[in-house]
Amino acid sequence: MEVTEIMKTDNTLLEKMLSDENLGLALAQVRRNKGASGIDGMEVSELKGYLDEHLEEIKESIRNRTYKPQPVKRVEIPKPDGGVRKLGIPAVLDRFVQQAIAQVLVPIYEPKFSDNSFGFRPNRCCEMAIIRALEYMNDGFHWVVDIDLEKFFDTVDHDKLISLVMRDVKSGEIVSLIRKFLVSGIMMDNEYKESVIGVVQGGNISPLLSNVVLNELDKELEARGLRFTRYADDCAPRTLDISGAI
């Protein structure tokens, strides 16, 4: 039995996600983001017309848990320091659904996230993380330990992530959708590959899910009494005595 099948359903959150207002905002955001088409070839400019014809059946498929995301298109972007960054391009319709989910979950998670995390959050940016680090330095904290979680997005454990989501999201339909996006698979050079681990970089909900996981790291650093700043999966704890750093 899947974990989502034993959850008590919160129809309030689901209906908020499927409300005309929320879906309208999701459509507008996807159109602002633009971006390339996914494996089905649908362009962002075609999304509104498609929704005009199919929105009600899409909403019903989400309610009865039959909505099936398409595999993401894998692209590799060279890194300045060598190697490649693996990005995923979801189908435009899947980006729309993910955006609708993210918009109702962000208000739930924002109050729970650490004040020391700055990546992928509303009204926060990298410059603010730098300012926070400078404040620590001005306070006399000079030892710095830099943490970069190698291949973080590619190695997130799905079961662990879903268990964290289920702490705060009591809608079985929404949790089921999130899991489906996680395991929707990857297409690269016309070859399908299962996605048994990791969160696709490029999905509209991926930034939020990454913060759900990394908030556990933030809590641990705070419990140890460390002053730190985190932007995405890069973190810099500071302490007067390096023996107290992780």
Residue 9 pLDDT level (bands cut at 50, 70, 90)? low
Which of 233, 229, 8 lies closest to 131 in space, CA to CA? 229
Residue 59 pLDDT level (bands cut at 50, 70, 90)? very high
Structure tokens given for 187: 């297409």
E-strand ranges in 79-217 read 84-89, 143-144, 147-148, 186-188, 191-193
pLDDT of residue 85: 78
pTM over 0.75: yes
| Dihedral in degrees, nearest 10, Cα atoms 98, 100, 102, 106 | 180
Residue 22 pLDDT level (bands cut at 50, 70, 90)? very high
For the segment 155-195, what is each residue's pLDDT rounded down to a tens digit? 999 999 999 999 999 999 999 999 999 999 999 888 999 99
Residue pair 186/70 in contact (Cβ under 8 Å)? The answer is no
For the segment 111-132, what is each residue's pLDDT rounded down to a tens digit? 999 999 999 999 999 999 999 9
pLDDT of residue 17: 98
Matching residue, tokens 């289920």 = 166
